[in-house]
A and B are shown apart, each in its own frame.
Chain A
Amino acid sequence: METVIQTTSLTKQYQGNKVVSELDLSVPAGSIYGFLGPNGAGKSTTMKMILGLVKPSEGRISVLGKPVNQKNRLAILQNTGSLIEAPAYYGHLSGRENLHLVASLKQVEEKQIDHVLRIVHMENAQHKKVSRYSLGMKQRLGLAAALLGYPKILLLDEPTNGLDPAGIQEIRELICTLPKEYGMTVLVSSHLLAEIDQMATHVGIINHGCLIFQDKLSVLHEHSRSRIFLRTTDDERALLVLKEGKLPVVLEHDMNNIRKLYVNTGKEEDILRAGRLLFSNDLGILHLAEEQKNLEDIFLDLVGRRTNA
């Protein structure tokens, strides 16, 4: 799959403090790439660096196969639309006038304004002054402005901020349609896993400026498959026995630093075999339970693991 955004060892440092550290982001064409991380993880800074709004301290950025520098930045950005942090607007102008302004700068046809207004359901409010818009309406206007010119890449930084549940759902559905209907690639950031889970095809998890996971969302989901928690009369020996029996067994520390034995499988034949092996080695099972990791657990696990490291 072709990569439309590629960063190599991308780093941003403010007064010796690394807010983005050696980031190797890879956004495949036609994907909805969910850029996930807690507040202050470095999502916005990364997106700003891709757009050339912030100068990287180190590393390279390539968009649509071309390395981005100060000279070709605007030419490359012609194929991108963005909504970073809060929506940008001129409060004294109407929504339509705001879009006219962006359309003039993007050098796109006036008729596109009507279309993008329809896409974000803003036809009725287009002549109202933007200063009188609610935050949700401003967000939609920002999205409409980003869609002008039907760019190949759309960078959306927390696009559902300030929206009511119905608005969130609407924007989410809209984002999901963009790759199919307009051939766009969407890089969307959020601190909410559930949100990314509902629209992304690919996911990158960033924490403290470091990319700790990047792959298809389905791969992340694989981590959520069920596993078996075991407590035996001797967990250390049980680990060795099950390992010898070629079972996917691990000994993990929980939040209270208590060691726990897990067999990473949900297959009944594996559970049966594990039981037989333990009994044949005089190891008693005290507790056996099926555990299912949800994405939230995986996310916290990944974030926590890197933080502790």
Chain B
Amino acid sequence: MKKNGSSAFRVELYKGRHRHLLLVPLGFFLVLALWSGYSHRNLDAYDLSCGYSRLFYQLPLLNCVLMPIMLSVIASRLCDMEIKGGTLKLLYTLEKKSSFYDLKFLHEFLYAMVFILGEGICIPVFGQLFHFTEPLSFSLLLRHVLCLALAAFPALCLQHILSLMVESQIAPLFVGLSGSFLGLFSCFFPHNISRLILWGYFAAFLPYGLDYDHESRISAFYPVEFPAVTFLLFTVFSLAFYIICRRIFLNKEV
């Protein structure tokens, strides 16, 4: 039964009908925009001169809170329909198990990308809206989007396999919620420990650090060199993690 990938993916997208799945990333994006926008009101000249630096520092921290929950909701919404309807027995007679796993993941990742790209667009829009005087570095913008997508990848892998392997979606949602707390707290853990927390990577590639002077009570952002080795290792880990999760899933009989 030769089926090309695009037709199988169209079938996968068709399953999402009437589920209003786009509302999930859009809803989370709205929360992010409102939260971020609210914190950017009443900026003085100094704040405006480092508007983008502030944004590049603030958004990853917000992502630590929002992304794990959003990813768990997306994965749960898309996998639950298969679990509830007991469709795996039927699907595996019509398509490869691996193809089903990959396309479902791709479907989930597309919704995650709606949020990620929305956030990428949001940055220059905020700059215009709040009249930042700092010039926007497009390389930093690209780095931000890329790092966010990379951090989302293994977190979604975990949610994907959990949502497909367990009957009740409460467990994956709980993992997502816990990831949100852990991710945020990991920012305040020692570096060596925070690197062990999967969800902490949403804030692991911050392009700016924050230097707070207690005497003058002035906070200043300073550029942080891109952690190329960490990025590379995390990329390798993410791919290996995907392969391991996929293998676990493929070995499970229905």
**Residue positions of A touching B, CB distance < 8 A:** 48, 51-55, 74-75, 77-78, 80, 82, 84-93, 97, 100-102, 104-107, 130, 145
Contact = CB atoms under 8 A, between A and B. Distances in A.
A88 B1 CA distance: 20
Interface string B12-44: 001101110000000000000000000000000
A86 B87 CA distance: 9
29 contacts: A48-B254, A51-B89, A51-B92, A52-B93, A53-B93, A54-B253, A75-B1, A78-B1, A85-B86, A86-B86, A88-B86, A88-B88, A88-B91, A89-B85, A93-B17, A93-B18, A100-B14, A101-B11, A102-B94, A104-B10, A104-B11, A105-B3, A105-B8, A105-B91, A105-B95, A106-B94, A107-B1, A107-B7, A145-B90
Contacts of B253: 48, 53-55
A88 B90 contact: yes
A11 to B, nearest CB: 15
B191 interface: no
B193 interface: no
Given A54-B253, A75-B1, A92-B81, A82 B90 contact: yes
Contacts of B8: 105
Nearest to A77: B93
A97 B85 CA distance: 14
Contacts of A78: 1
Given A48-B253, A88-B87, 4 more contacts: A74-B95, A92-B18, A93-B15, A100-B14
B89 A53 contact: yes
A252 to B, nearest CB: 42
Given A97-B17, A101-B15, A91 B1 contact: no
Contacts of A48: 89, 253-254
Contacts of A77: 1, 93-94
A302 B89 CA distance: 31
B68 to A, nearest CB: 25
Interface residues of B, number: 27
Contacts of B3: 105, 107
Given A75-B1, A105-B8, A84 B89 contact: yes
Query: Which one of A75, A86, A91, A105 has the greatest number of beta carbons of chain B within 10 Å?
Result: A105
A168 B147 CA distance: 58
B208 to A, nearest CB: 44
A88 B95 contact: no
Contacts of A88: 85-91
B11 A105 contact: yes
Nearest to B20: A92
B91 to A, nearest CB: 7
A100 B14 CA distance: 9
Interface in B70-102: 81, 84-96
Nearest to A145: B90
Contact of B92 (A52, A90, A91, A106): A52
A145 B7 CA distance: 19
Contacts of B90: 82, 84, 88, 102, 145
Contacts of A104: 7, 10-11, 14
A84 B7 CA distance: 25
B93 A82 contact: yes
A143 B134 CA distance: 65
A101 B7 CA distance: 11
Contacts of A80: 93
B94 A105 contact: yes
A97 B81 CA distance: 14
A92 B19 contact: yes
Nearest to B82: A90
Given A48-B254, A75-B1, A101 B14 contact: yes
